[in-house]
Chains A and B, each alone.
Chain A
Amino acid sequence: MSSRPLSIADYPLAEKRPELVETKAGKGLDEITLDGILSGGVTLDDLRITADALRQQAEIARAAGRDTLAANFERGAELVDVPQDVLMQVYELLRPGRATSKDELSAAAKTLRDNYGAENVAAFIEEAAEVYERRALFKPRF
């Protein structure tokens, strides 16, 4: 990450700042080629967004005046390494009536915070727990 926040002049990154764009394994955009795929050097993992890329896009969104979009990208950055099944479990738990008490959501928040460093997302889930309690959403619906 650069020390100075990115601005809208750096967008699109793939065009204006290609040196900042790389895959999790450290490959540059110019290494993501058809030959690379055919030789097996490029895998599906190389075609995933990285937390860094999401934070860079958050800087650009903020520079464009879109603070809420930036916050979403930052939450997304924290979820990049969270496995699909964990992601879907947490989503399921956040749906109305799935958790029957604040504790279940708090536990999910703790897991994300402890295992993936997902501080913002964890706080967001804890906030949901408060609201769900206030709005009586811990009642099973089926």
Chain B
Amino acid sequence: MKGVTLDLVAITRRIEESAAMPENMRPHANRWRRFSDWDDRPLRLDKFAVEDAASGFSAFTSPYDPKPGVTLASGRIDSMDGVLARDFDMIDIFIARYHLDPQVAIEAMAIPSLEIARMLVDMNVPRTELVRLSRGMTPAKLAEVVSHLSSLEIAFAYGKMRARQTPGNQAHVTNAKDDPLQMAADAATAVAFGFDEIETTMRVARNAWSNAVACAVGAAVGRWGTLFQCSSEEAEELKIGMAGFTSYAETVSVYGTEKSFIDGDDTPWSKAFLAAAYASRGIKMRCTSGAGSELLMGFHDRKSLLYLEARCLCLQRAMGVQGTQNGGIDGAPVTCTVPGGMRELMAENLIAVWLDLECASGNDARATESEIRVGAKILPYLVAGSDLICSGFGSILKYDNSFNASLLNGEELEDYLVLQRDFEADGGLTPVGETEIMEVRSRAVDAISAVLEEFGLAQPTADMKQSVIAASGSDETRTFSGRDIALISETIKERAITIIDVIKALARRGFEKEAENLLNLVRLRISGDYLQTSAVVRNGRVVSAINDPNDYRGPGTGYRLSDRRREEIVSIRDVLTRAEVLRAEAIHKPAEAARVLYSAIGPAVVGGDKRDVVIGISPAFGVKLFQTVAGHPLSAVLRALFVGIAEGGCTARVVRMRHTADTSFLGLSAARLAGSGIGIGIQAKGTAVIHQRDRLPHHNLELFSNSPITKLEHYKRMGANAAAYALGEMPEPIIVPTRGEAMGSRYHARVSLIYAIETEMTSEGAAPEEIDVTFLGAPT
């Protein structure tokens, strides 16, 4: 032990010494430093596991997975996937009894799996036929079939097989304080963005009632029809549903091994009973299952993740639930640690929709710290569509998500809106402007405050309300204490306040619209229309797999963006227009007029002086455009070039080109007019080139292509270099330092619009014009 202590002292000293040196000078082990760079990337916070079927770490196949098979004895299932009926565990029994149709089984199990896999991606084989065959297929068979598909094929088959045609999405609405004011504001915000369902839960279990009332009221602001869930303990959740606050449930979990199921404290019969209980209360319900849950619970039976999940899904169809929340869910992070993990999550979702279940397709628990993996994970779902693409898109900030951070969160919501626009894909959301968001947030906070006041539960102050309306997250709110909130919640429960009381309170306080919206939602229960598969409410109508069935049969069929829906999706904020660019430029016109005077003095001629350097300016330079993309006034840029040329011992002459706006041709044309044979071409956006009379157009001497980061100092040095070339010297080329910024994405839209203004002013064969430039006043 003593030796170790001495070593530590020495190591500590060495670390201190090296810490005093600059980073890239420190002594290194024999290592390519790129690995150190990679070590620092968020990706490296993700940990990966080796494929090890015996330990449950295998996505698609395990040597311990059974071979698909069914035998019948007197019309009943006698064995399934290699297990005799007398040895069935409770999951096998339930699947054999309620999922498998013996007659279809004879037919479906005889078709080779590869052939069925091809049917899944064959647009000529209708969904209905594949759904029929699924009823005769065992878990091992379903898993074997989808294992034949690549990720692309799975995504395609998913788009074809999902039950409802129109895609949708679900949001998480929670906050770290369980604050009812923020809950209402964020619920209204989620509704405005177009979520079909919102799900809440709480940090403190007893706050369930306050969360439920606040979310229900918030979700009633704006359009009506967003279904709402409060994830809580089973009995409590059903009670909250009975009081009318919630309209769906999805926390009924099932597992793929008997021991996991029992540790989950349920059986297929207890869960199926619960499913019937929810139906009896008119509440929409789906089960939850996902790869990795058995692994996390320690009873994976050495089976592949996909096979276990196929069992869960057959079980859910057998129980008679309309849908499933599926695709890893809480097990998604562990699933994504194994090879093929993300493909497996897609494959299990495919089995879900093939079994004709509504699918809230995961994409919730954040399975990675890498934003690239996040984007890659969501894309297949975005383009294929899904009943609910995320079974919990974090509409709030990561730290406010009481379920834990989602794959996509409030921070990244706009990225998702742009992905919809990029791929012209309906991800279920709609961009909303700042004014509308402020309106719905204010309205929601006022509405829940009115309800709390009507019940004598609380008196939110103006300051509390204001802080919540503007808050991005709960760190920024000045609101109730945790104790206040718990009291509000317990009082709601004790006084048995119901949705009827809330509707009355809203109406009494002038929130008739919200009262009507809440009533409309709870009235859905009477007919039970929204209990059918994949039901959501759109424009006041129940839309489900029955009246909006996915009829994909190839291009021109299935879900397509309508013109109106496309318009909604593409209308993101801060989009450039030509008029806007011109308006922005015009603002600088008066200031430039006070700094520089351009006088046209006739057709340009070839200079005779060996020190004559010509600056060829573009057609709109100083006429319609007044500053570079970097924001330098064009007068300042010209002045810098003048100074540089003069300091280099030459004289500058300005010529406006009319026949071209292209930098190379501006430069070459200028060079041919220059007595020195050296010219500078410059566009109004700031792109500039040094050219020489005898060179080919695109083979210049120096080019400043990164105009957004080109500084006045660079233009001055460019002038000096042009002068040096004119005098026959060989100067050090000027480097505009770049750190690899995504320049194009920031500037290209504006640059293209600006450049179009330039090219519009050109005319074929127009002669260059000599310009007398007078600088007015001091340099800017």
Contacts and interface: CB of A to CB of B under 8 A. Distances in A.
B618 interface: no
A84 to B, nearest CB: 6
Residue among A23, A135, A137 facing the most chain B CB atoms (10 A cut-off): A135
Interface string B249-283: 00000000010011001110110111111111110
B512 interface: yes
B279 A73 contact: yes
B545 interface: yes
Contacts of B128: 65
Given A8-B546, A44-B499, A135-B90, A49 B525 contact: yes
Interface string A32-49: 111001100011101111
B603 interface: no
B533 interface: yes
A61 B163 CA distance: 13
B61 interface: no
B320 interface: yes
A21 B523 CA distance: 11
Nearest to B512: A34
A8 B184 CA distance: 37
A12 B529 contact: yes
B279 A75 contact: yes
Interface string A74-88: 011111101010011
A32 B526 contact: yes
B273 A121 contact: yes
Contacts of A33: 519
Given A91-B277, A96-B266, A69 B527 contact: no
Nearest to B523: A32
B528 to A, nearest CB: 5
A91 B280 contact: no
B320 A87 contact: no
Contacts of B278: 76
Contact of A68 (B93, B317, B528): B317
B454 to A, nearest CB: 13
Interface in B541-561: 541-542, 544-547
Q: Interface SS of chain B: helix, strand, loop or mixed?
A: helix
Contacts, number: 206
B317 A53 contact: no
A15 B541 contact: yes
A91 B519 contact: no
Q: Interface SS of chain A: helix, strand, loop or mixed?
A: helix
B531 A38 contact: no
B221 interface: no
B526 A21 contact: yes
Interface in A1-42: 8, 11-15, 21-23, 29, 32-34, 37-38, 42
B469 to A, nearest CB: 27
A13 B527 contact: yes
B322 interface: yes
Given A29-B526, A44-B498, A64-B545, A34 B265 contact: no
A60 B280 contact: no
B276 A94 contact: no
A128 B276 CA distance: 15
Contacts of A71: 98, 320
Residue among B89, B244, B281, B512 facing the most chain A CB atoms (10 A cut-off): B281
A127 B98 CA distance: 12
B73 interface: no
Contacts of A73: 279, 320, 528, 531
A44 B500 contact: yes
Nearest to B261: A96
Interface string B231-243: 0001100110011
B564 to A, nearest CB: 22
A128 to B, nearest CB: 4
Nearest to A68: B320
B276 A57 contact: no
Contact of B321 (A12, A69, A128): A69
Interface in B294-351: 317-322
Contacts of B356: 65-66
A95 B526 contact: no
Contact of B527 (A21, A68, A77, A121): A21
Contacts of B525: 47-49
A57 B528 contact: yes
A31 B541 CA distance: 18
A108 to B, nearest CB: 10
A3 to B, nearest CB: 20
B538 to A, nearest CB: 12
A51 B214 CA distance: 31
Given A68-B99, A131-B90, A54 B526 contact: no
B131 A65 contact: yes
A121 B543 CA distance: 29
Nearest to A8: B546
Interface in B654-679: none
B532 interface: yes
B516 interface: yes
Nearest to A29: B526
Interface in A92-140: 94-97, 121, 124-125, 127-128, 131-132, 135, 137
B522 interface: yes
Contacts of A70: 320
Contact of A60 (B238, B265, B532): B532
A89 to B, nearest CB: 10
A131 B261 CA distance: 14
Contacts of B238: 84, 87-88
A106 to B, nearest CB: 14
Contacts of B258: 135
B165 to A, nearest CB: 14
A88 B233 CA distance: 12
A29 to B, nearest CB: 6
A137 B270 CA distance: 12
A91 B273 contact: yes
Contacts of A84: 238-239, 242
B504 interface: yes
B503 interface: yes
Contacts of B471: none
A91 to B, nearest CB: 6
B523 A29 contact: yes
A118 to B, nearest CB: 9
A137 B678 CA distance: 93
A140 to B, nearest CB: 12
B515 interface: yes
B507 interface: yes
Given A43-B500, A53-B527, A66 B280 contact: no
A64 to B, nearest CB: 5
B269 A79 contact: no
Contacts of B532: 11, 57, 60-61, 64, 69
Residue among A33, A80, A84, A87 facing the most chain B CB atoms (10 A cut-off): A87
B276 A137 contact: no
Contacts of B544: 11-12
Interface of A: 8, 11-15, 21-23, 29, 32-34, 37-38, 42-44, 46-50, 53-54, 56-57, 60-61, 64-66, 68-73, 75-80, 82, 84, 87-88, 90-91, 94-97, 121, 124-125, 127-128, 131-132, 135, 137, 141
4 closest Cβ pairs, A-B complex: A76-B279, A72-B320, A49-B282, A128-B269
25 contacts: A12-B529, A15-B541, A21-B527, A34-B516, A37-B500, A44-B243, A44-B244, A46-B526, A47-B522, A49-B281, A50-B526, A60-B532, A61-B532, A68-B98, A69-B320, A69-B321, A72-B320, A79-B277, A87-B277, A91-B235, A95-B265, A96-B262, A128-B270, A137-B262, A141-B262
Given A48-B282, A95-B267, 16 more contacts: A11-B544, A12-B541, A12-B544, A21-B526, A29-B527, A37-B507, A57-B528, A64-B533, A68-B320, A72-B276, A82-B280, A96-B270, A124-B272, A132-B269, A135-B90, A137-B267
